[in-house]
């Protein structure tokens, strides 16, 4: 009995993780793990479900194609042909088994091997030779998003075929070349915005932009890799369809190879793997397809993937190099982070010479020493990591590395916090802490002050204009000096930044509370606190005189309350708030307009994209009718309000048996209970 309980527990944890990381991937957010690690989680889930088929549920990630359609760019469109995902394999043995299985049914079958572009799937529909509609994969089987306007802004998308074929639908991959990606991130930094994690995320987010001009500016590209459906002309094979597409001006994956045996297929996969680092774009594998369409039809598909194609995923590329130094940096909280500096190597087409070493425990676990030969790879082919030390190549003079007990920036005392791996500088005035604190303060998640990227903040700090986060509101006193020095640009640039600072004074106080950088008080906690208290002054008074009352606020725990109390009671905290008050920064929450009591005593969590309300508007509607909005789902949650792309919160609510509402159902609960303020 205990074995099956353990299996069920592992299944639940695997499914939870896979849903979380899958949502990050399909919603174009930066993933917390590499593609390879995600694949390994999925392989483990498949293995357990194969052994225990009675434990398979209809909501398991193995039973679904992938992402969900969203409503950011327009209407949802039904698929004429399902845009299925491919079965992933990771070994030569699996490839040979796939080929052998096909040849057992069709001894003369041909296989096409081509690059698997790392991007976002898009279907293009042509009617009488003209581009009629472009549709994302969405849920893969039923519907996707109409992104036609944005697709027209992609130079590789042909709007008019040479031949006026009645209906012609193709599927391809929208991607971003590395050079275009670098330009976008450089522009993000100049605008003080968060850079994209990788080209795929940037391409996916760009395709869902409401403004097609942004799509054009970011220089997206597209390869077509499959014929979905055609009317008015027949095709017998994949390569014949490719020839027709090429003649019509459609950009196809040209680096393909036609194979007849398992040896030829594996050699083609190996060749793609060898040259993938030289490509101007990212690939995450190679695809093997049956060439003949009649054979494809006979082979058919499962609910999730075609039986006539398979995707081989390459293991992370690894290179040996020599560790020359370990540099230490200091973050906003004083945390000291070590970074490996090594002889440059080429990984996945880019030059790499640095990788984080996280903390002392990580260094100790690898026993990494300056002068060591190390094995470096890219996590998810994006983030450089140190995998191992080649100890047989270690110099005799190499010594164990210790971060030490002194801050590398201000040389103040540094202490390892109990029960953590973090070593932190104890000097709150440390310049490195100030810089990172200010970057957090001006970020989109906090005060959202445009135009203050890392270079601007470092320049202003080093020149003595910024000593703490409140000093940003005194920059207008130095306008002429700033223009003359050019630290943050010339006159127009300086004035734009000063205007953004002035406008931020009117922000809601939850943004200011987020920007204070109090440990454990992120945006969600700040919103909950400012819904519970009328002002930051009121919160400060309660934190000092009766902090236990803050525990009644949703999602607030004892440690967070302790950190709040420490900040508000400290002389430095009080002085900082005084500077904000003097500058005219808003401390007051807008009064809650009570429109009724239909939701009184009920707690709600909001997730996903609602049809007509933003999350903030939905929260205001719930609060106006007496309800309480929380940041996370728990057994105490009464209702989950869910929209498109709801993700893990929806799954957790279903697992806990919590009622799930859509926007219409929420409005129905309110009914005629007072005036709807939204």
* Residues identified as active-site: 116
Q: Which residue from 235, 218, 219, 217 is spatially nearest to 227, judged by alpha carbons?
A: 235
Helix (H) or strand (E) holding 272, with range, is helix 262-275
d(CA 318, CA 385): 10
Q: How many residues does the chain have?
A: 678
- The verdict on whether residue 35 carries a ligand-binding annotation is yes
Pairing relationship of beta strands 309-312 and 283-290 according to DSSP bridges: antiparallel
Q: Which residue from 274, 298, 296, 303 is spatially nearest to 286, judged by alpha carbons?
A: 274
* Helix, strand or coil, per DSSP, at residue 617: helix
d(CA 596, CA 457): 46
d(CA 371, CA 393): 9
d(CA 146, CA 73): 7
Helix (H) or strand (E) holding 9, with range, is helix 2-26
d(CA 106, CA 533): 72
- The verdict on whether residue 648 carries a ligand-binding annotation is no
- The verdict on whether residue 348 carries a ligand-binding annotation is no
Q: Which residue from 343, 296, 350, 337 is spatially nearest to 323, judged by alpha carbons?
A: 343
Give the torsion through C-alpha atoms of 406, 411, 415, 421, to 10 deg: -70
- The verdict on whether residue 441 carries a ligand-binding annotation is no
Contact 410, 425 (CB under 8 A): yes
Question: What ranges make up the beta strands (E) of 137-272?
Answer: 143-145, 167-175, 221-231, 257-259
Helix (H) or strand (E) holding 132, with range, is strand 130-136
- The verdict on whether residue 278 carries a ligand-binding annotation is no
- The verdict on whether residue 372 carries a ligand-binding annotation is no
- The verdict on whether residue 137 carries a ligand-binding annotation is yes
Neighbours of 56 (CB within 10 A): 15
Contact 238, 210 (CB under 8 A): no
Contact 388, 374 (CB under 8 A): yes
- The verdict on whether residue 335 carries a ligand-binding annotation is no
- The verdict on whether residue 202 carries a ligand-binding annotation is no
d(CA 142, CA 68): 10
Neighbours of 372 (CB within 10 A): 24
| Paired tokens of 89 | 């394999």
Contact 167, 230 (CB under 8 A): yes
- The verdict on whether residue 189 carries a ligand-binding annotation is no
Question: What ranges make up the beta strands (E) of 588-649?
Answer: 603-607, 628-630, 639-642
Q: Which residue from 614, 631, 607, 621 is spatially nearest to 669, judged by alpha carbons?
A: 621
- The verdict on whether residue 36 carries a ligand-binding annotation is yes
- Non-local (6+) Cβ contacts of 32 within 8 A are 20, 21, 24
- The verdict on whether residue 312 carries a ligand-binding annotation is no
- The verdict on whether residue 430 carries a ligand-binding annotation is yes
Give the torsion through C-alpha atoms of 36, 42, 45, 46, to 10 deg: -110
Contact 300, 395 (CB under 8 A): no
- Residue carrying the six token digits 């008080």: 521
Contact 340, 368 (CB under 8 A): yes
Interior angle at CA 271, CA 268 and CA 274, nearest 5: 155
d(CA 32, CA 513): 26
Contact 439, 454 (CB under 8 A): yes
Gyration radius of the chain's alpha carbons? 28
| Paired tokens of 628 | 């309480």
d(CA 586, CA 512): 8
Q: Which residue from 631, 634, 616, 623 is spatially nearest to 598, judged by alpha carbons?
A: 623
- The verdict on whether residue 393 carries a ligand-binding annotation is no
Positions at the binding site for Zn(2+): 407, 410, 425, 430
Positions at the binding site for NAD(+): 35-39, 85-86, 114, 137, 173, 289, 313
Positions at the binding site: 35-39, 85-86, 114, 137, 173, 289, 313, 407, 410, 425, 430
């Amino acid at each position: 009995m205990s074995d099956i309980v353990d299996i069920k527990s592992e299944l639940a944890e695997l499914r939870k993780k896979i849903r979380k990381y899958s949502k990050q991937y399909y919603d174009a957010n930066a993933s917390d793990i590499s593609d390879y690690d995600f694949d390994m989680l999925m392989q483990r889930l498949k293995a357990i479900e194969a052994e225990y088929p009675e434990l398979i549920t209809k909501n398991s990630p193995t039973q679904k194609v992938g992402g969900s359609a969203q409503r950011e760019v327009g209407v949802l469109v039904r698929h004429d042909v399902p845009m299925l995902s491919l079965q992933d394999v990771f070994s030569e043995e699996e490839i040979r088994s796939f080929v052998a299985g096909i040849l057992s049914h069709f001894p003369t079958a041909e296989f096409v091997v081509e690059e698997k572009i790392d991007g976002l799937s898009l279907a293009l529909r042509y009617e009488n030779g003209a581009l009629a509609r472009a549709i994302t994969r969405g849920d893969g089987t039923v519907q996707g998003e109409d992104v036609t306007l944005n697709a027209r802004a992609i130079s590789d998308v042909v709007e008019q075929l040479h031949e006026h074929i009645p209906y012609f639908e193709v599927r391809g991959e929208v991607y971003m070349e590395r050079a275009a990606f670098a330009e976008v991130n450089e522009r993000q930094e100049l605008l003080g915005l968060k850079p994209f994690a990788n080209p795929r995320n940037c391409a996916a987010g760009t395709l869902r932009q409401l403004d097609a001009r942004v799509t054009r500016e970011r220089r997206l590209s597209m390869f077509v890799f499959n014929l979905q459906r055609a009317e008015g002309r027949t095709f017998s094979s994949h390569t014949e369809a490719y020839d027709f597409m090429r003649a019509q001006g459609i950009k196809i994956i040209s680096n393909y190879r036609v194979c007849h045996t398992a040896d030829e297929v594996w050699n083609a996969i190996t060749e793609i793997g060898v040259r993938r680092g030289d490509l101007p774009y990212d690939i995450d594998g190679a695809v093997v397809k049956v060439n003949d369409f009649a054979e494809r039809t006979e082979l058919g598909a499962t609910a999730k993937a075609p039986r006539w194609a398979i995707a081989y995923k390459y293991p992370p590329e690894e290179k040996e190099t020599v560790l020359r130094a370990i540099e230490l940096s200091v973050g906003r909280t004083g945390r000291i982070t070590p970074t490996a500096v090594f002889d440059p190597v080429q990984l996945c087409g880019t030059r790499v010479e640095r990788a984080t070493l996280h903390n002392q425990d990580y260094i100790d676990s690898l026993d990494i020493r300056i002068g060591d030969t190390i094995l470096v790879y890219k996590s998810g082919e994006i983030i450089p990591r140190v995998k191992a030390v080649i100890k047989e190549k270690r110099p005799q003079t190499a010594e164990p590395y210790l971060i030490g007990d002194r801050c590398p920036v201000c040389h103040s005392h540094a202490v390892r916090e109990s029960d953590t791996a973090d070593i932190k500088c104890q000097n709150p005035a440390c310049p490195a802490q100030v810089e990172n604190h200010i970057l957090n303060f001006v970020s989109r998640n906090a005060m959202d002050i445009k135009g203050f990227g890392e270079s601007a903040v470092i320049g202003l700090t080093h020149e003595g204009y910024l000593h703490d986060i409140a000093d940003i509101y005194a920059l207008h006193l130095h306008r002429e000096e700033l223009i003359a020095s050019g630290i943050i640009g010339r006159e127009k640039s300086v004035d734009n930044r000063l205007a953004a600072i002035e406008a931020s004074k009117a922000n809601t106080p939850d943004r200011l509370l987020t920007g204070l950088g109090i440990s454990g008080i992120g945006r969600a906690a700040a919103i909950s606190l400012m819904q519970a208290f009328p002002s930051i002054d009121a919160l400060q008074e309660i934190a000092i005189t009766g902090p236990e009352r803050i525990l009644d606020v949703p999602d607030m725990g004892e440690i967070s309350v302790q950190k709040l109390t420490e900040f508000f009671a400290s002389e430095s905290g009080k002085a900082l708030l005084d500077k904000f008050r003097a500058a005219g920064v808003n401390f007051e929450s807008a009064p809650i307009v009570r429109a009724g009591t239909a939701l009184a005593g009920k707690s709600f969590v909001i997730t996903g994209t609602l049809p007509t309300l933003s999350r903030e508007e939905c929260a205001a509607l719930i609060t106006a009718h007496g309800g309480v909005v929380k940041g996370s789902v728990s057994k105490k949650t009464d209702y989950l309000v869910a929209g498109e792309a709801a993700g893990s919160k929806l799954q957790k609510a279903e697992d806990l048996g919590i009622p799930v509402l859509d926007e219409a159902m929420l409005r129905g609960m309110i009914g005629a209970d007072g005036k709807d303020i939204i």
